């Protein structure tokens, strides 16, 4: 019986979230989601606050930022959705946002860019920039 109530509650939360245009609690990723030119816009629109890490496999500073982004994604599950976009494989989106150097992190609120972090910074700096938009 408890399982049935929990299932109904979860379904209702998803329906309500869909009505108001936000994500239900179970829909928040706890790790950065790999994005493409095709999936970028729908991911950014799905969550009220999104951070997307623009990176490339050959980029040394990107590798320094990666564990920070992963830790923040886990810590802020349900509050901030994190994505990562390989700029070599998804040049359209990289060009659309005028990404000239990497790593670049875009902070998107309701699908619109509100901030960007260019370069490899310590966790405290990245976290403070994101927190300023919560």
The pLDDT tens digits for 40-74 are 999 999 999 999 999 999 999 999 999 999 999 99
Catalytic residue among 44, 49, 51, 59: 59
pTM of model > 0.75: yes
Q: Where are the domains of the chain?
A: 38-131
Residue 41 or 16, more confident:
41
21: pLDDT strictly greater than 50:
no
Active-site residue, 62 included? yes
Mean pLDDT of 71-80: 96
Is the per-residue pLDDT at 22 higher than 50?
no
What is the reported pLDDT for 20?
A: 41
Question: What homologous superfamily is domain 38-131 in, according to CATH?
Answer: Glutaredoxin (3.40.30.10)
Q: Which listed residue (62, 94, 108, 120) is catalytic?
A: 62
DSSP string, the chain: -HHHHHHHHHHHHHHHHHHHT---GGGS-SSPEEE-TTTHHHHHHHSSEEEEEEE-TT-HHHHHHHHHHHHHHHHTTTT-EEEEEETTT-HHHHHHTT--SSSEEEEEETTEEEEEEES---HHHHHHHHHTT-
Residue 27 has a pLDDT of 78
pLDDT tens-digit map of 106-127: 999 999 999 999 999 999 999 9
Residue 59 appears among annotated catalytic residues: yes
């Amino acid at each position: 019986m408890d399982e049935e109530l929990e299932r109904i509650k979860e379904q209702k939360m998803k329906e309500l979230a869909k009505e108001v245009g936000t994500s239900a609690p179970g829909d928040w990723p706890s790790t950065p989601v790999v994005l493409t030119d095709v999936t970028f816009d729908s991911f950014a629109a799905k969550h009220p606050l999104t951070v997307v890490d623009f990176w490339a496999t050959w980029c040394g500073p990107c590798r320094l930022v990666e564990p920070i982004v992963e830790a923040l994604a886990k810590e802020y599950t349900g509050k901030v959705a994190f994505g990562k976009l390989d700029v070599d494989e998804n040049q359209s989106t990289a060009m659309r946002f005028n990404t000239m150097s990497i790593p670049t992190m875009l902070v998107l609120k309701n699908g619109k860019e509100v901030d960007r972090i260019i370069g490899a910074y310590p966790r405290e700096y990245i976290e403070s920039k994101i927190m300023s938009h919560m």
